[in-house]
Amino acid sequence: MTPDLLYQLALTTIPNIGAVQAKILLQHYDVKDIFKARKTELEKIEGIGSIRAASIRSFNNFSKAEEEIKFVEQYRIKPLFITDKDYPQRFLNCYDPPTILFFKGAADLNASKTIGIVGTRKSSDYGKEITENLVNDLATINPVIISGLAFGIDSIAHKACIKNNMATVGALGHGLDTVYPGENAGLAKDMIKHGGGLITEFFSNTKPDKQNFPKRNRIVAGLCDATIIVETDIKGGSMITAELANGYNRDVFAVPGRTTDKKSSGCNYLIRNNKAVLLTAVQELIELMGWEEKKKATGNRQKAIFIELTNDEKIIVDILNEQESVHIDEINFKAGLSSSRIAAAILNLELKNIATGLPGKMYKMQ
């Protein structure tokens, strides 16, 4: 545990300070210094103001954070603060990333490919078959599969992953001291045992109350490059997940169903309103996401060495070479250049066949 963990946990308990405000504060201070900052300094920060500044200055209740430290130590849970290197980096491209996450398991939350699979709790035989076939076919690219550990499509997806030796992570709407629904406790243990895990932003002793589940859906949407909606009514958690994923500029896919089938009405709505791509086969997703295997990838990277690049282009190439694909927000953050210079450099790299754009404002080396 880091020495700053007490302050990291406490930051999430300050009244009137949510994920957006915490992100703003951490752009100005180290976490400890937030609690020492003067009120006059805090209230000048855009997005904080006098009421939130007063909440920070008057805060002195660290007991909840102290209790949570005991819990994570006892059960070997990994806290992931937003500034940690192991924190899920895809969340940094979101406007409201969870300030801290609690993770139990071994899955790589920064794997090169992450896919969400969600749907109704009352799945049909059609939904079950589709989900199992999707997971089976996705095994060829070995992504980490994220879902919500609910009955129905979520549970089917998790079980299919275990069967196919794939890591799968359950996002929870409560603390890690329990599993909801209780009938999935055995499944949760199997997920951890087979290299997956459980993740939440809620402290222990947080009950699975209805208002918590949109936050759970946000974790699924934020962790994933793409989210697949298998079966859903026009209202429900899966539709919230789809809307959140769209808001994060992530790709959303939906499996179509019969027009008379209420369980597919949400999927059909998303497709009809261009909020999801119609999905009938995994290969369609692989092609749209740019995940086809490139046999000459190393040769193209080598070619970039021999092409004359500007200083701006060299900076972008260095960033793209760090990982398989990089979001434009991360490029903007790391490059230290104006957005117009970055846009011009990326365009030139694409024209030189050195870099290529992907769905969801991602870029990679060719």
Q: Write down the mean pLDDT value for the chain.
A: 92
Domain boundary among 230, 255, 288: 288
How far, in Å, CA of 172 to CA of 192, rounded?
A: 14
Shared domain for 341 and 304, answered yes or no, is: yes
- At 183 the three-state DSSP class reads helix
Q: Which carries the bigger pLDDT value, residue 236 or residue 5?
A: 5
Q: What are 245-300's pLDDT values in tens digits?
A: 999 999 999 999 998 999 999 999 999 999 999 999 999 999 999 888 755 444 45
**Phi and psi of 309, rounded to 5°?**
-120, 150
Shared domain for 91 and 126, answered yes or no, is: no
Domain boundary among 288, 311, 330: 288
Cα–Cα separations (whole angstroms), residue 360 to 122, 246, 248: 31, 9, 8
Helix%, strand%, coil% for the chain, nearest 5: 45, 15, 40
Mean pLDDT of 198-205: 97
Shared domain for 272 and 310, answered yes or no, is: no
Predicted pLDDT at 4? 94
Shared domain for 284 and 305, answered yes or no, is: no
The domain that holds 333 is classified in CATH as 1.10.10.10
Q: What are 149-165's pLDDT values in tens digits?
A: 999 999 999 999 999 99
Shared domain for 111 and 98, answered yes or no, is: no
Q: What are 107-152's pLDDT values in tens digits?
A: 999 999 999 999 999 999 999 999 999 999 999 999 999 999 999 9
Predicted pLDDT at 297? 45
Predicted pLDDT at 2? 74
Predicted pLDDT at 276? 96
Shared domain for 27 and 54, answered yes or no, is: yes
Number of domains in the chain: 3
- What predicted TM-score, i.e. pTM, was given to this entire model? 0.80
**351's tokens:** 């024209």
How far, in Å, CA of 354 to CA of 90, rounded?
A: 23
Please report where in the chains the tokens 């008379």 appear, as a residue: 260
Shared domain for 249 and 326, answered yes or no, is: no
At 33, is the pLDDT very low, low, confident or very high (cuts 50, 70, 90)? Answer: very high
Domain boundary among 103, 134, 166: 103
Kindly tell me if the per-residue pLDDT of 302 is higher than 80: no
Mean pLDDT of 48-54: 96
Q: Starting from the edge strand earliest in sequence, which strands make up the sheet with 355-358, in order? A: 326-327, 362-365, 355-358
Shared domain for 242 and 316, answered yes or no, is: no
- Domain around 263: 106-288
Shared domain for 249 and 166, answered yes or no, is: yes
Shared domain for 129 and 252, answered yes or no, is: yes
The DSSP code for 203 is P
Predicted pLDDT at 1? 65
Shared domain for 35 and 137, answered yes or no, is: no
Shared domain for 63 and 185, answered yes or no, is: no
Distance of CA 360 to the CA centre of its chain: 13
Predicted pLDDT at 137? 96
The domain that holds 112 is classified in CATH as 3.40.50.450
